[in-house]
Structure 1
């Protein structure tokens, strides 16, 4: 009786260490093969088992040392409108009928068409606008008055949506599957998607609502903008006038506060706070005919990072003619003709990876093998920067 031949065991490659991204497939097979030889599957399984045992310990606390922090590569939040709006959960608040819906319609139109907004650079993408206090006829009139007949297929409207915890998540997930290039989802207003009974404000409830929206935004690397009202009571900090508790602002990545001194004024201020941009105040003026908001001036100039000579050098090394570079940190120091230690260069690039992607469209990857550390630099299309 013939015995069944056993299939040879296939070695499993080890996961990249220190949170690094794996190198893309290339012709450097010797590196991969050597990595397999020096990191046998049994050793990897033992390490995985040890980590699982640690995590099952109720007293286990995952920590990262400062050196490990610098060893990792963390992509920064991509800008939706540079210096103004980034991925994450944002709140736009203002008194009723102050012009919030016109402002978010303006944001939606500019992002969906790629047209610059005021003096801010816009990154083009699909936009979903849940205008839950409007109907399609009113939206049609508003958009026509603001932008004429120059429409776009990248801006979608809905006047009805389900509530948080009662189907809204599934609706938004489906939209993202159908439109993976989405950059902005506007919910106008937050109150319309609160769960039944959500009118009872508490810090925990407000924090949880924005927290759920933030998880969705972070998962899809988009901006989710929640339109909300302010209350009439005066406050020491203008942002404390946002209706509800401080839990809303506490969890959000940023907030906009649109205010007028008098309801009939055509002038308004837009105060902006956020984790990814400096606090600023913009002075706006409303066009009487088109009802769009125009920038009159900013209280302070937009803060710009100073030039980085190393990143500038990399942009001359990785070009359209030579869109990829691969080698060791030592070889990169030599290629750039820098007076810097290779390990210091690697740490600096780990920290600057997000800026390198956003400003120069260069993806940076770092990987360690038995042969040493290797760096890969790839010029990519601006549209791929979100991936």
Structure 2
């Protein structure tokens, strides 16, 4: 690291969307794609790989065209081939696979330079799954180990100008109101990531799901998706939201943990570190009351000179959650 200070006006500029691989979803660097077992993560990743290799839209979002490497540490060749047969697409695509269950003996840094030399247009590397790949020094999850390993993978991605997408399992009790905290292991992994994606399904027997997305340069958004007859994920436009405001997301996450808030908008802004004016927060909560309600948060706005706010987490049965 250079000791020379760089003035704000001289910082490197990023032009347009050059950092995006899948617009609004995947950027160069490290992305974590999580979901509970059997939720459809691999189908989603293979579909995304196909979109990148073809330069076609993925769930309505533009992609950059480039070659893809897919490290399939959990599935045999026959299963991957069968899934592409289900998709019903031409398999003459620039997607290259590496199979094997002993992923934790695989050194990504050893091969990525070779792959880039062989395929100069390489844009994305999928690791399915991270649990098969990661080093395990102890039986107990360790934040520093997770953060170090994830940071090293991120640096590899940025050094070679690619996106590395780690498929990762999530806890079965994943909370819809705070999904990005349910990755298996410690918070060291998401802390090092550029982007986080959660494939959330309340019931894997149903075809519908939510794709929850956030990142350092990507606003929080939810995409309603569902399986079509070819088992490909597609947007469920009948239930689609334009995107979840990050301030509303923070309020929902806070209430899901604390169960209740009763105070002024200024107090809530201060408590959550929201960079908006209190009157803007009040208007935002009022405008998005239906989203709060859909996430089991009841919102009441008081009147008078001191406009207090009351936010309460509702139970599944419709009653207020009791406070301990």
TM-score over 0.5 (shorter chain): yes
Q: CA deviation at 1:164?
A: 6.3
Task: State the alpha-carbon separation in 2 of the partners of residues 208 and 121 from structure 1.
Answer: 32
Q: CA deviation at 1:262?
A: 1.0
The aligned residue for residue 281 of structure 1 is: 222
The aligned residue for residue 133 of structure 1 is: 74
Q: Secondary structure at the match of 1:156?
A: strand
Unaligned ranges ≥5, structure 2: 246-324
Q: CA deviation at 1:69?
A: 2.2
Q: CA deviation at 1:228?
A: 0.2
Q: Please list the CA deviations of residues 289-328 of structure 1 after superposition, one character each: whole Å capped at 9, or x if unmatched.
A: 311101113322599xxxxxxxxxxxxxxxxxxxxxxxxx
Trace 1:1-387 onto structure 2 (pairs within 5 A): 62-64=4-6, 68-75=7-14, 78-148=19-89, 150-160=90-100, 167-197=107-137, 199-235=139-175, 237-287=178-228, 289-297=229-237, 298-300=240-242
Contact preservation (8 Å) 2:73, 2:103: no
After TM superposition, the score normalised by the length of structure 2 is 0.69
Q: CA deviation at 1:168?
A: 2.8
Contact preservation (8 Å) 2:220, 2:244: no
Q: Please list the CA deviations of residues 257-293 of structure 1 after superposition, one character each: whole Å capped at 9, or x if unmatched.
A: 0011112010000100101211100000111x31110
Name the stretch that deviates more: 227-236 or 177-186. 227-236
Distance 1:279 1:134, change over 3 A: same
Contact preservation (8 Å) 2:106, 2:133: no
Structure 1 vs Structure 2 CA RMSD: 2.3
Which stretches of structure 1, 4 residues or longer, exceed 2 Å deviation after superposition?
A: 61-64, 71-77, 160-168, 196-200, 232-236
Q: Secondary structure at the match of 1:269?
A: strand
Task: State the alpha-carbon separation in 2 of the partners of residues 74 and 161 from structure 1.
Answer: 42
After TM superposition, the score normalised by the length of structure 1 is 0.58
Q: CA deviation at 1:197?
A: 3.1
Unaligned ranges ≥5, structure 1: 1-51, 56-60, 304-387
Q: Please list the CA deviations of residues 5-48 of structure 1 after superposition, one character each: whole Å capped at 9, or x if unmatched.
A: xxxxxxxxxxxxxxxxxxxxxxxxxxxxxxxxxxxxxxxxxxxx
Q: CA deviation at 1:173?
A: 2.2
Contact preservation (8 Å) 2:69, 2:97: yes
Q: CA deviation at 1:72?
A: 3.6
Q: Which has the larger radius of gyration?
A: 1
- Number of aligned residue pairs: 240
Which structure is richer in relative contact order (CA contacts within 8 A, separation 6 or more)?
1
Q: Please list the CA deviations of residues 52-79 of structure 1 after superposition, one character each: whole Å capped at 9, or x if unmatched.
A: 9xx7xxxxx5433xxx221243336521
Q: Secondary structure at the match of 1:279?
A: strand
Q: CA deviation at 1:140?
A: 0.7
Q: CA deviation at 1:147?
A: 2.9
Contact preservation (8 Å) 1:83, 1:302: no
Q: CA deviation at 1:195?
A: 1.8
